Structure 1
Amino acid sequence: MLLQMQAAAGAPPLESMEPVVLRKAFSEQSKMTAAPPAEMSRVEERQIPGDETDIPVRIYRPITDSEGLLPVLVFYHGGGWVICDLDTHDDVCRSLAAEGECIVVSVDYRLAPEHRYPAAVDDAWAALLWVAENSTSIGADSERIAVGGDSAGGNLAAVVTNMARNQGGPELAAQLLIYPVVDIARMDRDSHLKFGNDYGLTLSGMEWFRDLYLGPDQDAKDPHVSPIYAGEFSGLPPTIVMTAEADVLCDEGEAYAQDLINAGVHVEHTSYDGMVHGFVSMAGIIDVGMQARKDAGAALKKFFA
């Protein structure tokens, strides 16, 4: 259905559009594909301190019988580090808060090309540190923190998870990686070739995002860019990996899951048959998208327990 909609709309290739125009287009598309928003106990907008500028965040508290501190998921939205924002992923965050029975802190990190790497990583890390240091002020339990994200947001979640392990904290209960970007140095895996055209996110589109994010002088194999090159994966927290069968990023997500398994990390990997990149954000028109949100929430609850 989604691919038919895109074809009927005559959508031009991503790489043919200016980022500011593409952002507006995706903002409108997200409204058409979003699920009905789950009701929250409270939604709060804040500005938190970053290294160079304040970072907008949106904090979701679910409706729950608990009056104590809740676990918290720090969430980074997808969009190739170039597009999307708090609003495009609002319904996703509401679902994760409701299904995971946790607070969700959605992070509006700086976007490329106006702010190239490492701006997004810096903001993602600053947000995690802020949540860890200010957890009680938002009603969260500092001993039950997870990070997560979809696509480029999954990349940021994987990167800050490795950073937390390497720097001795914050200790994380889990990481949630939804069709994550973990290797932008290599674009020749089977899924890149098999699903690189006509399945939503294209190979050329992914290369365009990469180039806007990195610029000409950065190393795509830097583990803070492509976490699959971290080299050491032991000691990482329980990891939830979700991949889509007909997704250009499918194989790298599966490879990352296997690398973590080989290192002794507890990994729960689910591959969603027939799904394309971005399906979790399209739960308003793709039923499996909502099921994946429920799956993610159930896994988070287990690791938060």
Structure 2
Amino acid sequence: MDTTTPASPPAHPWVHPELAGVLAGLPARPENPYADIAGVRAGFAALMAPRMAAPDPRVTVRRTSFRGPDGNTVDVQVLRPAGTRGVLPGVLYLHGGGFAYGELAGPSPMARDACAAAGAVVVNVHYRLAPEHRYPAGVEDCYAALEWMAATAGDLGLDAARIAVTGASAGGCLSAALCLMARDRQGPPIVFQGLLIPCLDDRGRTASMRRITDPRYTNGAGMRHTWDTYLGPDRGPDVPAYAAPARATDLGGLPPAYVLTCGLDPLRDEGLDYARRLVEADVPVELRDVPGAWHLFEAYAPESEPARRTTAHWLGALRTALEAAPDPVQPGGPSAAVRVSAVPGGGGK
């Protein structure tokens, strides 16, 4: 991965003051990072290495696997809060990484945080990655993991009636897709979907996709290459909703959602639009926007005030959802509500 190219960023309307110094030190990324997929994977592992070095005393981890939908082996890591016994809620955590990278040797910081903060058994899935395995391999692995969680709930020590799905970026796309699949296939019930800076629409037609062009972080051009890597550059116009959930025409009957967006993220507008459409379909939604922050900014500035507040907020929403454990929303059920919050210039809640 090229990390030496000087950046020549366009002017920004506003960058969070605590993130400006970090952003100033970021080099430009290649327009198509997937041209060197090995370099992308190595670069991400290096970025995350400082946060992966020490064991996390908050959680215990065991590794196992199950047979996937194509006879493949799907590896998973099962996290449990240290010192706990009995039945706990479950979280299916789907890592991000443009459908092509993001797999780490151990559980990601987000998976560990979810386990400790929500008091839940977290299953971290190593789904098949593009471009070696394009859609639908990865999402079908994730759906198989959901079914496996429900079928082995007793052995895992989790409550099959209290399973949430969550993930960031590509993981947010996969989480949204799983909710559609579980509804349509009458699969295991999902009580909550945490869609963190999700990529949802392969068509690239929003204003934020056109507006965000800074080469130092994920921009509109990079997202177009992401979709090409996942779906293939020669895909036709009839992309299924399980690949790009924004294409779904019916969002009714889906579980309550938490949607996180960032002001300098090309995915911001499609996340906002998906949240709006969920509300219109009578799905309860909590929406949080972080102005002045770019896609996956927390990975670059994990100790910054915006990152700490953002992480605490979505973990609180996850914990609350699992504690309440409502029945999955059904069409014609209770009216949806939307809560909207933002991290202002001072990093407030």
TM over 0.5: yes
Shift of 1:101: 1.5
1:210 corresponds to 2:242? no
3-state SS in 2 of match to 1:231: coil
Pick aligned residue for 1:61 from 44, 69, 80: 80
1:189 and 2:209 matched? no
Whole-Å separation in 2 of the counterparts to 1:60 and 1:32? 20
Contact between 1:199 and 1:247, CA under 8 Å: does it hold in 2?
Answer: no
Structure 1 residue aligned with 2:5: none
Residue aligning to 2:336? none
Listed one character per residue, the Cα deviations across residues 131-161 of structure 1 (whole Å, up to 9, x for unaligned) are 1111121111111001111001110000010
Establish whether residue 6 from structure 1 lines up as the match of residue 23 from structure 2: no
Change (3 A) 1:273 1:299: same
Cα deviation, residue 279, structure 1: 2.3
Q: What are the within-5 Å matches in structure 2 for residues 1-305 of structure 1?
A: 1-7=21-27, 11-15=29-33, 17-32=35-50, 38-52=56-70, 53-63=72-82, 67-87=85-105, 90-185=108-203, 187-198=204-215, 200-215=217-232, 216-217=234-235, 219=237, 221-282=239-300, 284-305=302-323
Task: Indicate the structure with greater helix content.
Answer: 1
CA 25–93 in structure 1, closer or farther in 2 if over 3 Å, else same = same
Identity fraction in percent: 32
Structure 2 unaligned blocks of 5 or more:
1-20, 324-349
For 1:85, the aligned partner's letter is E
CA drift of 1:291 comes to 2.3
Contact 2:77/2:123 (CA < 8 Å) preserved in 1? yes
Distance 1:41 1:76, change over 3 A: closer
Q: Deviations over 1:68-88 (max 9, x none)?
A: 211111011111101110348
Q: CA RMSD in A?
A: 2.1
Cα distance change on mapping 1:225 and 1:128 into 2, 3 Å: same
Q: What TM-score results when the alignment is normalised by the length of structure 2? A: 0.81
Secondary structure at the aligned position of 1:46 is classed as strand
What is the one-letter code of the residue matched to 2:209?
H
* Deviation (angstroms), 1:40: 2.9
Q: Distance in 2 between matches of 1:293 and 1:168?
A: 32
Q: Distance in 2 between matches of 1:217 and 1:248?
A: 22
CA distance in structure 2 between the partners assigned to 1:37 and 1:291 by the alignment: 23
Instruction: Give 5+ residue unaligned stretches, structure 1.
Output: none
Does the residue aligned with 1:302 lie in a helix, a strand or coil?
helix
Q: Which deviations, in whole Å up to 9, do the C-alpha atoms of 1:4-53 show, x marking residues without a partner?
A: 2322xx54444374111111111101225779774334111111221120
SS at match of 1:6: coil
Q: TM-score, normalised by structure 1?
A: 0.92
Q: Moved runs in structure 1, 4+ residues, more than 6 A?
A: 33-37
> Which has the larger Rg?
2
Structure 1 49/16 Cα, relative in aligned 2: closer, same or farther at 3 Å?
closer
Alpha carbons 1:86, 1:107 under 8 Å: kept: no
Aligned length: 301
| Whole-angstrom CA distance in 1 between matches of 2:250 and 2:309 | 32
Question: Partners in 2 of 1:17 and 1:113 — Cα distance?
Answer: 10
Moved more, 208-217 or 196-205: 196-205
Per-residue deviation, residues 77-119 of structure 1 (Å, max 9, x unmatched): 1111011103486111111111112111111111111111111
Cα-to-partner distance string for 1:161-213 (whole Å, 9 max, x where unaligned): 0111112221111000000011012x131111221324510212111111111
CA contact (8 A) 1:183 1:221 kept: no
* Distance in 1 of aligned mates of 2:186 and 2:116: 30
